[in-house]
């Protein structure tokens, strides 16, 4: 059994004059398409509509190629233009998932780049690469490219043109150094509690910095728009945004690395963060009660980046030869890890679990983590590996479950 590994190889290009002019033109066209779509999206959003998907944006592109003043887009290879729209869509996704700040307009000289997802021919023996509508271009060959070429990005920096070749190849799957199996309970008061009693405190960077962020945003709103002071204030807001993101990412990486190093099998609940966020507002048949409390609970969950932690655990386990097993979360918080008695009344408070049947009492998160581990053992015993890893389909979960 093998696993896929991605790698990027970057070289300096040696284009001729015509190729250089064409590359500059293609990069400019991609920037134009990105910026124009961003402006359209903003307009559309200000009119009260939702952000439009990549597919909708490609329809604009088709229209622009027909309009007399933007017909020149037809001379540019289509795929890089479409990739620019993909980049914009990814920018929105990253923003909505709090991984990045809002997409910004691209400036000439700062982002002269375009990407081909296919149609590329690599001739390593002759140190040249063939790109659609550019032909063969020589490059400074400094190392052997390994793997199957997945996509190629052409970029310009300080007057020089570069190519970055992303490849994918199979490597033998490693075996995890540990044989330990652990249950992980994702929480609000704690980021994660393991069935062996290990506790990871939450990431509070967001809440802590939120007041500061609000203050900076107020300051910015008082400045004259586009004035130097406004720009200064805007930069401060942007810097704080990225600082918050960096603190969170660093912390989550530390946690996921620690857990992944120590345990070959990590059993988690298959919680759908999106479902949990939705349930607060309720449905037509069942209006949400306690909306405000749930909204803030949901915000904390998102804040702690449970979604991101799971993603990191999954790929780090893949690297180490370990696994992540996602189990159905039903009753893991109400069930007694000792005798199996399941009742809402077992859970009188958020913190404490006390079994009404056998008297077993424990920290509620540790009891939950032990149940998750037990559910993992049960799944493995039955051979139901349906929810293992990223590539496989996930079991449907109960959307109604909101306790963690």
Reading phi first (left if > 0) and then psi (alpha if -120 to 50, else beta), residue 272 is in beta
**Residue (188 or 375) nearer to Zn ion, CB:** 375
C-beta closer to Zn ion: residue 358 or 399: 358
Catalytic residue of the set 22, 87, 89, 269: 269
Which of 341, 377, 389, 403 contacts Zn ion by CB under 5 A?
341
Q: Give the N- to C-terminal CA distance of the chain in Å, as an integer.
A: 36
Q: How far apart are CA 396 and CA 306, in angstroms?
A: 18
Q: Is 357 an interacting residue with respect to Zn ion (CB under 5 A)?
A: yes
Of 393, 99, 97, 93, nearest to 270 (Cα)? 393
Q: Which is nearer to Zn ion, 23 or 364 (CB)?
A: 364
Judged by beta carbon, residue 248 or residue 370, the one nearer Zn ion is 370
Size of interface with Zn ion, in residues (CB under 5 A): 8
- The distance of closest approach from Cβ of residue 83 to Zn ion in the complex, given in angstroms and rounded to an integer, is 56
Taking the mean position of all CA atoms in its chain, how far away is CA 104?
A: 19
Which residues share a beta bridge with 6?
Answer: 168
- Candidates 72-80, 294-302, 334-342, 381-389 — which segment interacts with Zn ion by CB under 5 A? 334-342
Q: Which of 39, 59, 62, 358 binds Zn ion (CB under 5 A)?
A: 358
* Residue 354 in the binding site for Zn ion (CB under 5 A): no
Asked if 374 is part of the footprint of Zn ion (rule: CB under 5 A), the reply reads no
Is 365 among the catalytic positions? yes
- Please state the closest distance from residue 362 (CB atom) to Zn ion, in A: 10
Least distance CB 202 / Zn ion (angstroms)? 28
Please say whether the beta carbons of 135 and 97 come within 8 A: no
Which residues, numbered 135-154, are part of the site for Zn ion (CB under 5 A)?
Answer: none
Active-site residue among 22, 89, 112, 185? 185
Residue 360 in contact with Zn ion, rule: CB under 5 A: yes
Q: Is residue 59 a contact point for Zn ion (CB under 5 A)?
A: no
| Lookup: tokens for 322 | 């370990």
Question: Which residue's CB is nearer to Zn ion, number 56 or number 341?
Answer: 341
* Residue 95 lies near Zn ion (rule: CB under 5 A): no
The answer to whether residues 364 and 355 touch, using CB atoms and an 8 Å cutoff, is no
Part in contact with Zn ion (CB under 5 A); list of ranges 34-42, 102-110, 132-140, 328-336: 328-336
Residue 269 falls in the annotated catalytic set: yes
Give the nearest distance from C-beta 183 to Zn ion in angstroms: 17
Instruction: Give me the phi and psi of 194, to 5 degrees please.
Output: -100, 155
Distance CA 166, CA 379 (A): 37
Q: Which residue lies nearer to Zn ion by CB, 317 or 367?
A: 367
**Which secondary structure element, helix H or strand E, spans residue 203, and what is its range?**
none
Q: Closest separation between CB of residue 351 and Zn ion, Å?
A: 18
Q: At what angle do helices 17-46 and 54-66 cross, to 10 degrees?
A: 120
Nearest-angstrom CA–CA distance, 32 and 91: 16
Non-local (6+) Cβ contacts of 1 within 8 A are 172, 173
Interaction of residue 214 with Zn ion, rule CB under 5 A: no
Q: Quick one: 276 or 336, whose CB is closer to Zn ion?
A: 336
Based on the shown chain and the rule CB under 5 A, indicate whether residue 356 belongs to the binding site for Zn ion.
no
Q: Least separation, in Å, of the C-beta of 270 and Zn ion?
A: 25
On the CB side of 59, CA atoms within 13 Å amount to 5
Query: In sequence order, what are the residues at sequence separation of 6 or more whose Cβ sits closer than 8 angstroms to the Cβ of residue 353?
Result: 336, 346, 347, 360, 361, 362, 363, 364, 367, 368
**Catalytic residue set:** 185, 269, 365
What is the binding site for Zn ion (CB under 5 A)?
336, 338-339, 341, 355, 357-358, 360
């Amino acid at each position: 059994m093998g696993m896929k590994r991605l790698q990027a190889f970057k070289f300096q290009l040696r284009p001729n004059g015509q190729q250089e002019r064409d590359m500059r033109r293609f990069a400019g066209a991609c920037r134009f398409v990105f910026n124009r779509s961003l402006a359209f999206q903003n307009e559309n959003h200000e009119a009260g509509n939702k952000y439009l998907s990549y597919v909708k944006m490609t329809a604009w592109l088709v229209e622009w190629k027909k309009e007399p003043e933007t017909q020149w887009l037809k001379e540019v290879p289509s795929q890089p233009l479409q990739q620019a729209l993909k980049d914009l869509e990814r920018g929105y996704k990253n923003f909505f998932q709090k991984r990045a700040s809002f997409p910004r307009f691209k400036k000439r000289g700062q982002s002269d780049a375009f990407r081909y997802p296919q149609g590329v021919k690599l001739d390593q023996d002759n140190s040249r690469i063939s790109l659609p509508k550019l032909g063969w271009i020589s490059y400074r060959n400094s190392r052997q490219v390994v793997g199957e070429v997945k996509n190629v990005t052409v970029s310009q920096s300080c007057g020089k043109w570069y190519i970055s070749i992303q490849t994918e190849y199979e490597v033998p799957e490693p075996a995890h150094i540990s044989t330990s199996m652990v249950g992980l309970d994702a929480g609000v008061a704690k980021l994660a509690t393991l069935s062996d009693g290990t506790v990871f405190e939450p990431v509070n960077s967001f809440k802590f910095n939120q007041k500061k962020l609000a203050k900076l945003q107020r300051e910015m709103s008082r400045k004259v728009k586009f004035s130097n002071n406004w720009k200064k204030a805007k930069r401060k807001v942007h810097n704080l945004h990225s600082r918050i993101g960096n603190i969170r990412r660093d912390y989550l990486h530390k946690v996921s690395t620690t857990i992944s190093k120590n345990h070959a099998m990590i059993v988690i609940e298959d919680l759908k963060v999106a479902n949990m966020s939705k349930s607060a507002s309720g449905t037509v048949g069942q209006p949400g009660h306690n909306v405000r409390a749930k909204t803030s609970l949901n915000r904390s969950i998102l804040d702690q980046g449970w979604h991101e932690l799971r993603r990191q655990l999954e790929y780090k386990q893949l690297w180490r030869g370990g696994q992540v097993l996602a189990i159905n979360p039903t009753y893991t918080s109400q069930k007694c890890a000792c005798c199996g008695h399941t009742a809402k009344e077992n859970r009188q408070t958020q913190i404490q679990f006390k079994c009404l049947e056998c008297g077993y009492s424990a920290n509620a998160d540790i009891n939950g983590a032990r149940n998750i581990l037990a559910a993992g053992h049960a799944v493995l015993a039955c051979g139901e590996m349906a929810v293992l890893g990223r590539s496989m389909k996930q079991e449907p979960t109960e959307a109604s479950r909101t306790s963690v």
